[in-house]
Amino acid sequence: MRTLLVYLFSLLSLAIWSQGASAQISRCFAMANANPPVRYAALAPRKLTPQEVRINFVGHSTFLLETAAGVTIATDYAGFAGFNVTPDVVTMNNAHETHFTDYPDEKIKHVLRGWNPKGGPAQHNLRLEDVHIRNVPTDRRGWGAGIERDGNSIFIFEVADLCIGHLGHLHHGLTPQYRALLGTIDVLMVPVDGTFTLGHKEMAEVVRLLRSRLILPMHYFGGSSLQSFLTEMQGEFLVKIHDSSEVIVSQQTLPDTPTMLVLPAGHGFSRGYD
């Protein structure tokens, strides 16, 4: 019943969004049961075309996304997205204070919380210039033994013919019903700490379920936790260690073979892997 309610809620929110004058068919859902052609990601930073998105790993669980139209988005924003950077949009999760802030910069145009302070699931369907941002609620472990229903969210960014998913502070596995809600995720940002979120085996099952082509590990506290997750996925994914915190991705340049791309944190956070 719980999964059914979440499923119906998400379908309703998508229906509401689709009625807008500027609505477009979601590629994430259109391609959910297909196998689109993929190629290797381009790593050299340069001016973006409409088919590209720039992703910069700030640190911890914060990535800064930049679209060709100039929209900037910071994930799991806790008050910092880079020096002299004020994003247009920030997303947050409230598992720990390193994933949100109660005092976001007033210049930020859109603050998307992964939980609803008034109760119930958060609902976001934001279209800004060339990007569409939506969420799928997930549950959160409480400080005791309880579960906070809809306490966090997975955020999906549809831009440049790509579907980019940020798992946030995921506390439970995902069922095929969740995959149906998420659609095809081309680029997946995955917490790999192995403790505060999910154990490595459980998180590996999530990655296998979503079948993304490019995986960006995040939320690790040293090389050992990252290496443990990479070992867990050994033989299923190529592993590349990039020397820059930044990568430019397009649908045409995604890897042919599913790939883990480790980006070093770019702004004073621990690299986590040396």
List the pLDDT tens digit at each of the 274 positions of the chain: 544 444 444 544 544 444 444 445 576 866 555 544 444 454 444 789 999 999 999 998 999 999 999 999 999 999 999 999 999 999 998 766 666 688 899 999 999 999 999 989 999 999 999 999 999 999 887 666 677 888 899 999 999 999 999 999 887 889 999 999 999 999 999 998 767 778 789 999 999 999 999 999 998 877 788 999 999 998 899 999 998 999 999 999 999 999 999 999 875 444 333 2
Contact 243, 44 (CB under 8 A): no
Residue 256, φ and ψ in degrees, nearest 5: -65, -40
Residue 176, φ and ψ in degrees, nearest 5: -55, -30
Q: How many domains does the chain divide into?
A: 1
User: Is 117 domain-assigned?
Assistant: yes
User: Is 58 domain-assigned?
Assistant: yes
**Would you say the C-alpha torsion 164, 170, 174, 177 has a positive or negative sign?**
negative
**pLDDT score recorded for residue 38:** 41
User: Is 251 domain-assigned?
Assistant: yes
Indicate the residue type of 35. Answer: N
User: Is 111 domain-assigned?
Assistant: yes
3-state secondary structure of 109: coil
User: Is 274 domain-assigned?
Assistant: no
**pLDDT score recorded for residue 72:** 98
CATH of residue 121's domain is 3.60.15.10
User: Is 272 domain-assigned?
Assistant: no
User: Is 174 domain-assigned?
Assistant: yes
User: Is 149 domain-assigned?
Assistant: yes
Indicate the residue type of 51. Answer: Q
**pLDDT score recorded for residue 18:** 46
**pLDDT score recorded for residue 197:** 76
Cα(161)–Cα(23) distance, integer angstroms: 14
Q: Look up the domain containing 191 and give its range.
A: 2-18+25-32+41-262
Question: DSSP letter at 98?
Answer: G
Of the candidates 260, 250, 256, the one whose C-alpha atom is nearest the C-alpha of residue 42 is: 250
With 0-12 / 13-18 / 19 or more C-beta atoms within 10 angstroms meaning exposed / middle / buried, residue 130 is middle
